[in-house]
Amino acid sequence: MSAFIRAFARNKGAVVGLVILALVAITAAVASLVFPFSPWDMQGAPFQPPGDPDAWLGTDSLGRDVAAGIAYGARVSLLIGAVSTAVSLLIGVSLGAIAGYAGGLLDDAVMRFTEFFQTIPSFILAIVLVAIFSPSLGSIVAAIAIVSWPPVTRVIRAEFLSLRGREFVQAAEVLGRSRTAIVFREILPNALSPLIVLASLMVANAILLESGLSFLGLGDPNLMSWGFMIGAGRSVIRLAWWMSVFPGVAIFLTVLALNLVGEGLGDALNPRLARRR
Amino acid sequence: MNFARIARLSAQRIVKMVAVVLAIAVTNFLLIHAAPGDPASVIAGQSGAADPQLLAQLRAQFGLDKPLTTQLAIYIGHVLQGDLGTSFRQGRPVLGLILERLPATLLLTGTAFVFAIAAGITLGALAAQRVGRVADSLITVLALGFYATPLFWVGLMLVLVFSVWLNWLPSFGMETVGADLHGWAAVADTAQYLILPALTLGLFYMAVYARLTRAAMLEVASQDFVRTARAKGVPEGRILRRHILRNALLPVITFAGIQAGQLIGGSILVETVFAWPGIGRLAFDALLARDYQVLLGVFLVTSILVVLFNLLTDLLYAIIDPRVQTA
């Protein structure tokens, strides 16, 4: 474990990413302590530029505090990023394991299905799904999960194909262990490291997707989110740059941090590849 | 170049395209029926909610009182005949609406794609050549940055800098309203409007291709044939162009083909920001009006575009690399 931490820490970018991510998480955690009011409430005069002691990132066109919006938005982004990634991992790992372990016709069918999902424009499918099932936390998470699982299936299938022929798996088969035991106790733990790296990149991608959806007005109407703030500030950008600039910086930093952490994890879990680079 | 091989590849892709169209038609059908509420009111969109006569007519047209499988057959029959339904909001067939907007979207995505490929490969090659030095780090950081920035926000920031602060470029639309330009003047006018949206859409993919090119070039540069060329005394510039770059381009082209769908998806956001009158803008307006038939039509047509684009990159690939077999 300490070797893993040392390998991770050797990548300076990854450490910076981890620090930013921790700050975003803390912001999300203390949002209601620092801003003990709803981010939808009017807190001051509209169009207040940043630097005011009451609203140091300014207020939007309805007098809502931009800083409070960003803090509460961090919750939504992290929540949607984490939950939708978990759901798509569940879909992707199941399908990939079936395809890679069963092989044959089932493998073919699963891969055709995966290819179909990789061909169609995923963002448009996400828009269609959220629009038809009306925007809510559930429909957004489901839509993001439905368009994000194919890479997981491909990675897991490839891992299963290469691992199922290895000696330790054959040994388990000879010992008469059940199929579920072999899949969950023998193969899956050995396929974890590419999955962890992929997952961190998927959380980043899910946050970008969510911001795009809420920018288009497809966010959960009860939750303040970064994409919504940018969408709301868009029409008055000539008068008030801060309404769209600050939430965008928040998205940028969070997604960048996740990408950096993902890269660091990849280096630490796969030191051979890291040294080659 | 083997024409039989290319023809076989095209035939395979056409089969695939028909399969995708059918699969999307089934998906759209399922979505209409899975949506909360009566399918007829979903087809009619918001405008039909108050009109019982229209709903009755739709039920008859789509056979909504018949079994589901019959309904599916009717629906797919409509789609295969190019009937994507009617936008009741605009009172016009969906296919016509989409085809009318198609050239604008193709202009935007095409320009963005060419820019992304050209700039991305150039930057990636520069970074690989100067690996470990300041220029390399700078290009890597730039790529990482654009990778993490939402498209629509890049667009807004470009508007803020180049339209609001510097006042150099127009921020929305596709042509100067009321200018009535012709010939080259009109082209120059549209080009001015095209710069910011194409840059917005292209910068992200430029970053992706730059990273890919850099990695692929470093990979190829360590191979034996490059060492052989160097030992033979081939000039360094020629090694870079003819030996390394040429081989490194193949994975970049493959990836570019795979990503076509995302490029078109991203154009929805960019067209929304810049009021670019393409399919994406149409989808956004349909979204606001809850005009589901238009939305589902956009989904179908953009998917067909992606398959066509994949065919194009496959053919390009087959021409560049004769080793490619038809699978």
**Domains of chain A: residue spans and CATH:** 2-276 (1.10.3720.10)
Pairwise CB contact (< 8 Å): B152 & A237:
no
ipTM value of the model? 0.85
Nearest by CB to residue A133, choosing from B35, B148, B262, is B35
Nearest by CB to residue B35, choosing from A132, A237, A245, is A132
State the Cα–Cα distance between residues B59 and B39, nearest whole angstrom. 9
Q: Which residues of A48-77 are buried (b: 16+ CB within 10 A; e: fewer)?
A: bebeeeebebbbbeeebbbbbbbbbbbbbb
Q: Is A118 on the interface with B (CB under 8 A)?
A: yes
Tell me which chain A residue has its CA closest to the CA of residue B270. Answer: A212
% residues pLDDT > 90 (chain B): 0
CB B280 within 8 A of CB B269: yes
Pairwise CB contact (< 8 Å): A124 & B283:
yes
What is the residue type of B181?
A: L
Pairwise CB contact (< 8 Å): B24 & A120:
yes
Quick one: pLDDT at residue B133?
75
Phi, psi of B87 (to 5 degrees): -85, 110
Closest C-alpha among B27, B293, B280 to residue A124: B280
State the Cα–Cα distance between residues A35 and A33, nearest whole angstrom. 6
Quick one: pLDDT at residue A275?
45
Integer angstrom CA distances of residue B20 from A116, A266, A273, B95, B256: 7, 35, 37, 18, 20
**Contacts of range A181-188, beta carbons closer than 8 Å, 24 or more positions apart:** A183/A97, A183/A101, A187/A97, A187/A101, A187/A159, A187/A160, A187/A163, A188/A93, A188/A97
Q: Is B137 on the interface with A (CB under 8 A)?
A: no
Quick one: pLDDT at residue A250?
92
Integer angstrom CA distances of residue B19 from A262, B23, B33, B304: 36, 6, 21, 10
Q: Is B186 on the interface with A (CB under 8 A)?
A: no
Mean pLDDT of all residues belonging to chain B: 79
Tokens for B92? 């016009």
CB B205 within 8 A of CB B112: yes
Pairwise CB contact (< 8 Å): B265 & A131:
no
Secondary structure (3-state) at B92: strand
State the Cα–Cα distance between residues B143 and B124, nearest whole angstrom. 9
Query: B-chain residues within 8 Å CB-CB of A238?
Result: 164
Beta bridge partners of B92: B87
What is the residue type of A105?
A: L
A86 burial (CB, 10 Å; 0-12 / 13-18 / 19+) is middle
What is the residue type of B290?
A: R
State the Cα–Cα distance between residues B217 and A158, nearest whole angstrom. 25
How many contacts (CB atoms, under 8 Å) link A and B? 129
Pairwise CB contact (< 8 Å): B150 & A245:
no
Pairwise CB contact (< 8 Å): B264 & A124:
yes
Pairwise CB contact (< 8 Å): A131 & B266:
no
Pairwise CB contact (< 8 Å): A127 & B287:
yes
Tokens for B15? 């089969």
Residues 50-109 of B with CB under 8 A from A: none
Quick one: pLDDT at residue B181?
67
Nearest by CB to residue B160, choosing from A123, A133, A241, is A241
Give residue for tokens 């066509």: B308
Beta bridge partners of A64: A42
What is the residue type of A75?
A: R
pLDDT by 10s per residue, chain B, length 327: 567 777 777 787 788 778 888 888 888 888 877 777 667 777 766 555 567 777 777 777 766 777 778 778 888 888 888 777 777 777 788 888 888 888 888 888 888 988 988 898 888 888 887 777 777 778 778 888 888 889 889 888 888 888 878 877 777 777 766 666 677 777 777 777 888 899 888 888 888 888 888 888 888 877 888 888 888 888 877 887 777 877 778 878 777 777 777 788 888 889 988 888 888 888 888 888 777 888 888 888 888 888 888 777 777 777 766 665 544
Pairwise CB contact (< 8 Å): A215 & B269:
yes
Query: A-chain residues within 8 Å CB-CB of B268?
Result: 123-124, 127, 216
Quick one: pLDDT at residue B67?
75
Q: Is B301 on the interface with A (CB under 8 A)?
A: no
pLDDT by 10s per residue, chain A, length 277: 677 788 777 778 888 889 999 999 998 888 888 888 788 877 777 777 787 777 777 777 777 888 888 889 999 999 999 999 999 999 999 999 888 888 789 888 999 899 888 888 888 899 989 988 888 999 999 999 999 999 999 989 988 888 888 888 888 888 888 888 888 888 888 888 888 888 988 999 999 999 999 998 888 888 889 999 998 888 887 778 888 889 999 999 999 999 889 888 887 887 655 444 4
Q: Is B262 on the interface with A (CB under 8 A)?
A: yes
Q: Is B160 on the interface with A (CB under 8 A)?
A: yes
Give residue for tokens 């990849």: A266
